[in-house]
Structure 1
């Protein structure tokens, strides 16, 4: 894998678009779980629903952290040319 060409605006734009695709399902899942968890946790629901909301909220942040690590690892590997 060759390092990306970051010397031109087109190369930087192409690399940004490539990075946006890395771990996209994990990022979308994480954001969805955070939103659902926040809605369930802040409403006037039974206790079990509020607990489920906090579980969704926590799982969403874990998914976002995993996506961040995956993207950083991909970026390091891609820049080094490996």
Structure 2
């Protein structure tokens, strides 16, 4: 982790928001992409397009569930990071 941001200034808060947006970004982006692909896959499979059978819908729902699991994991990663940063900040201000 980099030095704790100064949350008393607008620049410090903006820097911290930017830092938080980057935490878990690859996991969150992968989850969102998988959700979108799964939705398209389910629609195509349910209509029998591209030679997909109705059994392929189950695979699509599995992809959808895994995509949401990735998004929720990214939220937990970000929350854990925030909690650790705030503990670091509180330790530094109490010294």
TM-score, with length taken from structure 2: 0.78
CA shift digits 1:50-72 (9 cap, x unpaired): 22211110000000011000000
Contact 1:3 1:80 (C-alpha < 8 Å) held by counterparts: no
Q: Equivalent residue for 2:39?
A: 38
Q: Does 1:48 align with 2:49?
A: no
Instruction: Extract structure 1 runs of 4+ deviating beyond 3 A.
Output: none
Contact 1:33 1:57 in 2 (8 A): yes
Unaligned runs of 5+ in 1: none
TM-score by length of 1: 0.89
Residue from 79, 91, 94 that aligns with 1:72 = 79
Larger radius of gyration: 2
Q: Deviations over 1:32-63 (max 9, x none)?
A: 11001111112213123322211110000000
Query: Once superposed, what is the RMSD of the aligned Cα atoms?
Result: 1.5
* Structure 2: segments with no counterpart, 5+ residues: none
Q: Which structure exhibits the higher relative contact order, with contacts defined as CA atoms closer than 8 Å and separated by 6 or more residues?
A: 1
